[in-house]
Structure 1
């Protein structure tokens, strides 16, 4: 699977690692697991690592859009880690569609991303 996730801090922090090119089957496994975590913990904080991510097949892009529309309100904070300009653009693109705090971090700033995502206050 090109999407891997694991829980930290009692499940309120979800680390998501995407790599390669995502296909529809990746979402068929990822989405139910994400939805289970939302039912268990409520709003989540995501550390979304896109290092080594190349994009989506067309069917996976559609699944990603549906996921975003349905679940952006389930995310309290989203730290996006990447290594390419288009990945940084994804963080900017997401902001109007959610009340979640979203920040982009370069792949060299993982420690800073972790500090920000784990902060208790609501300031950047």
Structure 2
């Protein structure tokens, strides 16, 4: 898991590759808690390159955390390259209060603009 330079204020920007471990999930949760404590809500840019998914215990732990913090996510951009990643984004959209949107990896710049400044309405119409 790599923290990206655009991380600032209430935006956490991450790039994940391979398999997300329990330790990395714990780091992410700590970042979310810290941002929520300071700003009240959190925006997330989650870029998945050659990403295989989560360790099982990590996936379950992250899912429960997302449910507990559902009202604190204002915007989540998930950027990926595999069809299952788009599917998991749809599941995340059910859980999280804010806007959740999937972008193909070639739409990376649009995802950055959307999570930083835009909204679905301004970006699509």
On whether the aligned pair clears a TM of 0.5, the verdict is yes
Q: Which runs of 5+ in 1 are unaligned?
A: none
Q: Identify the range of structure 1 (86-95 vs 57-66) with the bigger mean alpha-carbon deviation.
A: 57-66
- The equivalent residue for 2:94 is 96
User: TM-score, length-normalised on structure 2?
Assistant: 0.84
Give the C-alpha shift of residue 120 in structure 1. Answer: 5.2
The equivalent position to 1:55 in structure 2, one of 53, 56, 59, is 53
Q: Measured at CA, do residues 28 and 117 of structure 1 come closer, stay the same or move farther in structure 2, by a change above 3 Å?
A: closer
Secondary structure at the aligned position of 2:74 is classed as: strand
Counterpart check, 1:85 vs 2:78:
no
Q: Deviations over 1:18-62 (max 9, x none)?
A: 211122122222211221111112212111111221112221112
TM alignment of 1:65-84, pairs within 5 A:
65-84=63-82
Give the C-alpha shift of residue 81 in structure 1. Answer: 0.1
The alignment yields a C-alpha RMSD, in angstroms, of 2.0
Query: Is the 1:73–1:100 Cα contact (8 Å) retained in structure 2?
Result: yes
Q: Distance in 1 between matches of 2:5 and 2:99?
A: 19
Q: Measured at CA, do residues 55 and 121 of structure 1 come closer, stay the same or move farther in structure 2, by a change above 3 Å?
A: closer
User: TM-score, length-normalised on structure 1?
Assistant: 0.85
Secondary structure at the aligned position of 1:51 is classed as: strand
- The equivalent residue for 1:24 is 22
Residues matched between the structures, number: 122
Q: Which runs of 5+ in 2 are unaligned?
A: none
Q: Distance in 1 between matches of 2:39 and 2:54?
A: 28
Give the C-alpha shift of residue 63 in structure 1. Answer: 1.4
Counterpart check, 1:43 vs 2:76:
no
